[in-house]
Chains A and B, each alone.
Chain A
Amino acid sequence: MVNEDILKNDRESIRFRRNSNNLVVLGTGVILFGFWGIIKIAMNFIFGIELFTEADIEELGEDGMVITLIILIIIMAVDVLLRLHTGLRARKEGAGGKVSASYVVISVFLIIGSVLSVAIVIESIFSLEEDAIDSFLSFFMELTSLALTIELFISAISVRKYKKKLERGK
């Protein structure tokens, strides 16, 4: 007969397993949302939707547009890289691997970025600058991304706390 004490079914252990699983799922989600920006731009090109309005083109000029486009690409690349880093590390941590806390720190920046994005989208909804359906879709996407990143951050903190506690107990 095996003693049932071998089972770790206390509340903390159950929460740890749930949060570890969350990290795997949410990590995948963060990576996928990283590509959302690229998909958005790609859709613009595919369906022939102008990236800049005529007013923007007039205001920026040709050189200004190129510079803006380069900045946009750099921001997106950085965003994708940060999300890849965060998502992959979160997945590894969730699967029981050992990773540095860098992804938790980066997730804070991602949360700040997502909050800003949500604010910008809300502003565009009220200013009626863009198509209402586009704005609402963007709003829900950004809000989902924000919720996902916040949950990842909370799960990561909880998992790391539990692991530290276990290490101290050894």
Chain B
Amino acid sequence: MQADFHYYATYCAAVLAGYSHRDALALCYSDQMVDCCTKLFLKSVSASVHAATSQSQAELVDMKTDITGLQDITRIWASFHFLPKDLYAKVPFSTKTYRSKYRLICGPNGPLVADTVELAKGGSLQAAGIAMHVLADTWAHYNFAGTPSLVINNTDNNFFEITDDGSVRPVTFKHSPGASDDIGNAVFNSTLFNLSEYSILNLGHGHAGHLPDYSYIRYKYMPAWDNYRECLKDNPSDYFKAFGQMVYALKYLKGTVGVFELDRYDTESVQPYENRIMSILTKRQEDASSDWKAFGEELSGEVIPDFDVNAYVDAYKNALPEYRDSTFLGRFIIAAMSQKSMVTNKIYKSGNMLAGFSIDYSKKGFRGIRDYMKLVKNSKRKSA
């Protein structure tokens, strides 16, 4: 998903869930920030790089794909963009290595989605925003894994767009970095085929280009892991479900509904706007920001400012060190570490080492992992 959904659509969902304009802005800002909080950004504000929620292309190219490098990549991408659906999925006749990768395949309505929402419950608006990003991406990115793997993330020429009249037309992929997609002729940019299993070119949905991120497109293709079965991706329908689930989750986080259950969507608040939302989702365009923005402004009657990655940087940098964690960006960083820590822990506990080690410091005593010292201090502060 892109800023159109992560920023503007999240704002709309927050308003429909009953959040004020101010809170909805904080929420959608945090949601979109997940795509911008790279190590480079964190270094620029002198914050811990371990709170990174994304990696720029330049960072990925620079990344070593040795064991620790792969674990670092997996922690970031599996925690925030490709939340695994089933960490205990059964894969008959497979090696442990393959099984570990298979179990990181992203999908909606997995137990980790509930864990993510529960983690944000009672937390900051920034935590809620991060949770919405993770939740929404499970709909856009399903069938791909947040770890470099050719055997999981590869796709082939068997890729067809399903047009409005139900006919299919072949999708063509080109590999020119920086070039824009030609959505009229179904020519899209994708990452170059690389035979190396652990190449960063095999991370996530790179081989399917930006198709999972476009709300209008419907397509069928053959995921590398699904034994030559075709898979249907109906983005407008999936995005609509994501929107409904976001409204429901936000109502839970706000306390309007008592429980968060998987596979439940807020139809009540969304239904009056279904036609409007579907018209945005099915409109053939690369970026639906202006449509979502107009819809959001109609809903709240307020002006939605454009997303500015540096909006809260000065407040963070100018705050005294002991108060930094209380600033907007500080709360975002704590929430990001918390999410990353939770997902890494769940992956590790499932017997999967792809995201690295994770220890429960409350049980065995904290051994001084620098990454999450800030998190430990914060939880101590909370309990004090």
Which residues on A are within 8 Å of B, measured CB to CB? 1-4, 6-9, 13-14, 17-18, 21, 95-96
B232 and A1: CB pair below 8 A? no
| Contact residue among B162, B222, B237 (Cβ-Cβ distance under 8 Å from A6) | B162
Q: B228: shortest Cβ distance to chain A, in Å?
A: 4
Residues of A within 8 A of B251 (CB): none
Which residues on B are within 8 Å of A, measured CB to CB? 156-158, 162, 166, 168, 218, 220, 222, 227-232, 234, 237
A21 and B228: CB pair below 8 A? yes
Given that A1-B237, A2-B218, A96-B157 are contacting pairs, would A18 and B228 also be in contact in the complex, using a CB cutoff of 8 Å?
yes
Residues of B within 8 A of A9 (CB): 229-230
| Contact residue among A2, A7, A8, A96 (Cβ-Cβ distance under 8 Å from B237) | A2
Residues of B within 8 A of A13 (CB): 230
Residues of B within 8 A of A6 (CB): 162, 166, 168, 220, 232
Q: A141: shortest Cβ distance to chain B, in Å?
A: 23
Q: Which A residue sits closest to B229, measured CB to CB? A: A9
Residues of A within 8 A of B222 (CB): 17
A4 and B232: CB pair below 8 A? yes
11 chain-A/chain-B pairs, Cβ below 8 angstroms: A2-B162, A2-B232, A4-B232, A6-B162, A7-B230, A13-B230, A14-B229, A17-B228, A18-B227, A18-B228, A96-B157
CA distance A76 to B317 in the complex (A): 73
B227 and A14: CB pair below 8 A? yes
Q: B239: shortest Cβ distance to chain A, in Å?
A: 13
B234 and A1: CB pair below 8 A? yes
A2 and B234: CB pair below 8 A? yes
B228 and A14: CB pair below 8 A? yes
Residues of A within 8 A of B166 (CB): 2-3, 6
CA distance A122 to B130 in the complex (A): 66
